[in-house]
Amino acid sequence: MDDLTKLLAIEEIKQVKARYFRTMDTKDWDGYAEVFAPDAVMDMRSEGSRDGVARDEMVTTGNRAIAEFVKAAIDTVTTVHHGHMPEVTFTSDMTADVIWAMEDKLRWPEGSPISTLHGYGHYHETYRLVDGAWKIQTLRLTRLRIDAV
């Protein structure tokens, strides 16, 4: 990749991740599915288990399945997810490793077993050029800190 192609790819990757956050927080699940490659893998084992979902099952494959998985977790939850300070490293003309700092703040409806969660960590991602557009290929979350009430 020449320098200009690289800069364009970095900016496109940033905007893909911006759509990831905005579609998640505004509950636009079709738009959310679009930011992932068709065979994307999301690894959320850092989040532990969930009602009826064991820790080992917190890995989801396929962009539609990922959107369903996340929708089932937070469609009724007021969420704010912010990403910061991407570190982009190209591993080929069509693939990149990216690390993002992140913060999330969730508030469940009244009467839920959990009330609020406020967390911080890093996304460790790979991106791939799919039919001319950069998409998230894999996503794994690590945590610096979680405060739950």
Give the footprint of a second copy on this chain (CB under 8 A): 3-4, 7-8, 10-11, 14-15, 17-19, 21-22, 25-26, 78-80, 82-88, 99, 101, 103, 105, 107, 120, 122, 144-145
Confirm if 44 and 141 have CB atoms less than 8 A apart: yes
Tell me which residue of 100, 149, 121 sits closest to 47, measured CA to CA: 121
Residue where the block lists tokens 């700092």: 101
* Torsion sign (Cα): 19, 23, 24, 26: positive
Q: Kindly provide the b/e burial profile for residues 107-126, where b requires at least 16 CB atoms within 10 angstroms of the residue's own CB.
A: bbeeeeeeeebebebbbebb
